[in-house]
Structure 1
Amino acid sequence: MASNTFVPKLIGHFNDLGTLADTYLTAIDVGLMIRLFLVTFKGTDEVEVIIQKSVNNNGYNVQWNGKAFKKMKNLKVLIIKDVSFSSGVEYLPNSLRVLEWVGYPSPCLPADFRPKKLSVLKLKKCRFSSLKPIMESVTALHSIGFMDMSVLNFDFCELITQIPDISCLPNLWKLSFRGCDNLVEVHDSVGFLDKLRILRADYCIKLRTFPPINVSTLERLDIASYTSLEAFPDILGENKKITVLCLYGIDLEFPFSIQNLTGVQVLGMENCRRIRLPISIAMLPELELLKIRACEELHFSKQDGSIEKGSLIMCPKMDRLVIEDCNISDESLSLCLSWFVNVKSLSLRGSNFTILPAFINKCPFLTSLDLDNCMHLREIRGLPPNIEYLSAKNCISLSFQSTSILLSEELHNTGGKTFYVPEGRIPEWFDHRTKGGSISFWFRNKFPAIVVCVVIGLTNEELFSIKFDPQVIVNGNERFGAHGLGHTFKVVAELIFVFDLESILFPYELEDVSLEKEWNHVEISYQEPFDSYTYEDELSNKVSIEEVGKESGIYVLKQMNKMEDIRFTNPYIDNEICSHNVKRHD
């Protein structure tokens, strides 16, 4: 076996060490034992790259004395993963530019390791208890090198308790120390690295404080998720690079200076214990989506003293506001809506509040409102002026007065709406009603503009699921399906669907329906034409609307139709009866 077959030789200079490592990882047989390098090539200065990753992460155990790299004077890239060693490392070549060693077996780097051109240092799951010796080595070499250090990674090093002063690394662009379970202190210098682009420090469960951040180049910031931070760090200068900020499993308060993250477009929080948001959140000029899910205590702080009282605060680009499965007070919800008056889509599903505030009337662009499973919602004091879609499925505490507002003729007589309301009866203002989950009518001239409703009753099951997928059949052969409206959901209380028929039938143009006769028959049903039940459907108590539909109704939009062109009984039979009666009279 010729040794040169297995040893890739680094030729020339390289600019992107990460790409280089990835390239060699595919070039070398990943099943090759590291001992092949340490024994076959021991003592050679031809080796420039060693990359070892075990097959299927099974790992290897290597017996050595720690000095196998001593004569590899030209080694520049050393990457070792999923390999265990019988003893620690006693020597590493100073020629190294990339050192990545998962589970590095020694409590420190060799005392004589002084790599002047080291650019990447990744020691995940290492046994270091302190990083100070490394930083002291860096400081000692600073006058003659070490200016190339760009990546530093100590993820999941359980013994590390402190991140020391790293101001001696001016070209660092990536710093990561995720999952350091015993980390309690981070030096202020971390927040002032003016070339840093990625900073990751999540899953440090004992970390309670984080220094201020003043880095305009930062593009990714993962520092709070699943930590014990009591407050999000102060943002001392403007940052336009961070566009997405997501936090998980936290209990903290945001500073007013969060407004300095002027590039943030998406702000998300999930599975949090307690969150307190300042009004400056609403000053983020690029914010498009604020998404908060499963928060035990969600607070929107009252107006800050630095904001002029009565001034209007709103995100100019705010599109979606999601507050789902959260405990939020009525006062906080009202404050929230006053901050985000430009919002277009609002989801409050599953959240614990009792009043939908009147301030929602002042949200002129809000067209979609999701209140599903808000079990404690009792009162609706207002609605957005341009609302098109509202869903309040399983809102079992909603008052009769509130459901009356949602089902008022004044709200629906212009059409263009789709509502799901917890109510078991069809409103009196509907023109026609019939028992069951389907309904039909006749029309002539043009297809009429109508509002349709169907009431869903309960079954013997405490919980069942249905699929709402309206189907329209004209003259028994032309079938139209609703666009974007078919979906399956759980039902725990009686429910009425109210929807503008014409607005949901897209891309079909109902005006272009081929009219075979003077009077044309239309049937509206919800039975899927090619439906098939699976075993999983049975387990989830899936039923069709045809089975649980109690009543269906039709309301004709009077300003858009002539009532003489619509019939709710067969006009041909009616004409025959009328003709027969006339003959008898003669």
Structure 2
Amino acid sequence: MQIGARGLRGNVRRLKALLQSKFGGRRRPETAKSPEKPKLHPEENLLRIEVFRPNCRKPRRYLVIKNGNLPNGLECLPDSLRILEWTGYPSKSLPSHFNPEKLLELNMCHSCIEHFPLEIEPLYNLKTVKLSNSLNLVNTRNFKGMPHLELLFLEGCTRLYEVDPGIEVLEKLTVLKLKDCKNLVHFASRVRGLKSLKVLNLSGCSKLKKLPNDMGHLESLVEVDASGTSIQELPCSIGMLEGLVSMSLRDCKHLVCLPGSVGGLKSLKDSKISIFLVAQSLINCQMSWVWLPV
């Protein structure tokens, strides 16, 4: 089933019927090897839609929309969705009547979303959020409605200027990527609640001047990338990260000194520090020199 770009408007009713139907299309016999997958195959200037469920006792729902020209989005979405992937989502928010309590993954890269979390809560089952390159996203709000979130990708959100301190309630978050958020000025002031965080990527956040003081309490942290930021110093608590394996501070041109506690990074194997430490700056900071592999 294919819907040409020119004839898309005349088929909106059929599209809505597809999304609201019980199984997203004509039901086919279920076998272990061939789950039901009504699809619109991707072609240039064609709307691609996939709504299917694998063969399992508890059906899962998937909705994938790509290459679609739907300037006003959709008025409704099925509440049974488990995975929602909509590249280039055109609206500022999701439909007001959409109840996403069963949603496991939200993938809306290149969207027009302005705020996250969205104004639809709670999202107790949500584990993955991908909003990278959503150029209208300006800030993040309270995260209390998604306690099981594990992956958060906000890369390339160039208007994002603040990450709410409430992010520390995400105890199960393992990956946080904010790469190339060039207007990010305020990163979370407190992060010690991120007990499961393993990867933190802030590279390319050129306006970010400070890392959280309690960063050393991220006991699971393995990788940190703060390259290309405007940080002037590392928090003294960073020496508590005994499990940290990789740290990149490449092109941190404003970084003038390192805390003596850096010597406590016993597991550090991959350190990329491309800076010029002026001797006088080190004297003023009254911090000891620490040799790190480059």
* TM-score (normalised: structure 2): 0.76
Once residues 218 and 196 of structure 2 are traced to their aligned partners in structure 1, the CA distance between those partners, rounded to angstroms, is 7
C-alpha distance 225-50 of structure 1, shift in aligned 2 (>3 A): farther
Q: 2:209 aligns with which of 224, 230, 239?
A: 230
Q: 2:139 aligns with which of 162, 177, 197?
A: 162
Once residues 51 and 243 of structure 1 are traced to their aligned partners in structure 2, the CA distance between those partners, rounded to angstroms, is 40
Residue 260 (structure 1) aligns with: 240
Question: Per the alignment, in what secondary structure is the counterpart of residue 168 of structure 2?
Answer: helix
- Deviation of 1:127 (Å): 1.1
1:248–1:270 Cα contact (<8 Å) kept = yes
C-alpha distance 183-86 of structure 1, shift in aligned 2 (>3 A): closer
C-alpha distance 183-336 of structure 1, shift in aligned 2 (>3 A): same
- Deviation of 1:147 (Å): 2.1
Residue 32 (structure 2) aligns with: none
Once residues 38 and 260 of structure 2 are traced to their aligned partners in structure 1, the CA distance between those partners, rounded to angstroms, is 53
Residue 339 (structure 1) aligns with: 290
C-alpha distance 207-49 of structure 1, shift in aligned 2 (>3 A): farther
Alignment of 1:482-493 (within 5 A): none
Q: Is 2:61 the partner of 1:76?
A: yes
Q: 2:156 aligns with which of 154, 169, 179?
A: 179
C-alpha distance 333-186 of structure 1, shift in aligned 2 (>3 A): closer
- Deviation of 1:288 (Å): 2.9
Structure 2: gaps (5+ residues)? 25-35, 52-58
Alignment of 1:35-434 (within 5 A): 42=18, 44-47=21-24, 54=42, 59-62=44-47, 76-85=61-70, 87-131=72-116, 134-135=118-119, 137-139=120-122, 146-211=123-188, 212-214=190-192, 215-236=194-215, 238-252=217-231, 253-276=233-256, 277-293=258-274, 295=275, 327-330=276-279, 338-340=289-291
Question: Per the alignment, in what secondary structure is the counterpart of residue 251 of structure 1?
Answer: coil
Amino acid at match of 1:165: N
Which of 1 and 2 has higher RCO (CA within 8 Å, sep 6+)? 2
Structure number with higher strand proportion:
1
C-alpha distance 278-49 of structure 1, shift in aligned 2 (>3 A): farther
Amino acid at match of 1:213: V
Once residues 168 and 44 of structure 1 are traced to their aligned partners in structure 2, the CA distance between those partners, rounded to angstroms, is 29
Once residues 38 and 240 of structure 2 are traced to their aligned partners in structure 1, the CA distance between those partners, rounded to angstroms, is 44
Question: Per the alignment, in what secondary structure is the counterpart of residue 245 of structure 1?
Answer: strand
- Deviation of 1:247 (Å): 2.6
2:2–2:40 Cα contact (<8 Å) kept = yes
Once residues 201 and 329 of structure 1 are traced to their aligned partners in structure 2, the CA distance between those partners, rounded to angstroms, is 30
Once residues 179 and 258 of structure 1 are traced to their aligned partners in structure 2, the CA distance between those partners, rounded to angstroms, is 26
Amino acid at match of 1:189: G
Question: Per the alignment, in what secondary structure is the counterpart of residue 221 of structure 1?
Answer: strand
Structure number with higher helix proportion:
1
Once residues 50 and 194 of structure 1 are traced to their aligned partners in structure 2, the CA distance between those partners, rounded to angstroms, is 37
Once residues 103 and 53 of structure 1 are traced to their aligned partners in structure 2, the CA distance between those partners, rounded to angstroms, is 17
- Deviation of 1:164 (Å): 0.4
Q: 272-281 or 250-259: which moved more? A: 272-281
Q: What is the aligned-residue identity percentage?
A: 25
Q: 84-93 or 97-106: which moved more? A: 84-93
- Could you list the per-position Cα deviations for residues 196-242 of structure 1 after superposition, in whole angstroms to 9, with x for gaps in the alignment? 10111121111112112112211111134333111112335633433
Once residues 51 and 234 of structure 1 are traced to their aligned partners in structure 2, the CA distance between those partners, rounded to angstroms, is 49
Amino acid at match of 1:89: L
- Could you list the per-position Cα deviations for residues 448-498 of structure 1 after superposition, in whole angstroms to 9, with x for gaps in the alignment? xxxxxxxxxxxxxxxxxxxxxxxxxxxxxxxxxxxxxxxxxxxxxxxxxxx
Amino acid at match of 1:187: D
Question: Per the alignment, in what secondary structure is the counterpart of residue 339 of structure 1?
Answer: coil
Question: Per the alignment, in what secondary structure is the counterpart of residue 190 of structure 1?
Answer: helix
- Deviation of 1:157 (Å): 1.3
Supply the RMSD in Å over aligned alpha carbons. Answer: 3.5
- The structure that has the greater radius of gyration is 1
- Deviation of 1:156 (Å): 1.3
- Deviation of 1:263 (Å): 1.0
Once residues 158 and 97 of structure 1 are traced to their aligned partners in structure 2, the CA distance between those partners, rounded to angstroms, is 25
C-alpha distance 166-52 of structure 1, shift in aligned 2 (>3 A): farther
Alignment of 1:564-583 (within 5 A): none
Amino acid at match of 2:244: V
Once residues 73 and 173 of structure 2 are traced to their aligned partners in structure 1, the CA distance between those partners, rounded to angstroms, is 32
Question: Per the alignment, in what secondary structure is the counterpart of residue 95 of structure 2?
Answer: coil
Question: Per the alignment, in what secondary structure is the counterpart of residue 226 of structure 2?
Answer: strand
- Could you list the per-position Cα deviations for residues 297-328 of structure 1 after superposition, in whole angstroms to 9, with x for gaps in the alignment? xxxxxxxxxxxxxxxxxxxxxxxxxxxxxx33
- Deviation of 1:165 (Å): 0.3
2:153–2:178 Cα contact (<8 Å) kept = yes
Once residues 33 and 234 of structure 1 are traced to their aligned partners in structure 2, the CA distance between those partners, rounded to angstroms, is 54
Once residues 283 and 225 of structure 1 are traced to their aligned partners in structure 2, the CA distance between those partners, rounded to angstroms, is 26
Once residues 123 and 242 of structure 1 are traced to their aligned partners in structure 2, the CA distance between those partners, rounded to angstroms, is 27
Question: Per the alignment, in what secondary structure is the counterpart of residue 263 of structure 1?
Answer: coil
- Deviation of 1:329 (Å): 2.4
Once residues 238 and 135 of structure 2 are traced to their aligned partners in structure 1, the CA distance between those partners, rounded to angstroms, is 30
* TM-score (normalised: structure 1): 0.40
C-alpha distance 75-195 of structure 1, shift in aligned 2 (>3 A): closer
Once residues 216 and 259 of structure 2 are traced to their aligned partners in structure 1, the CA distance between those partners, rounded to angstroms, is 18
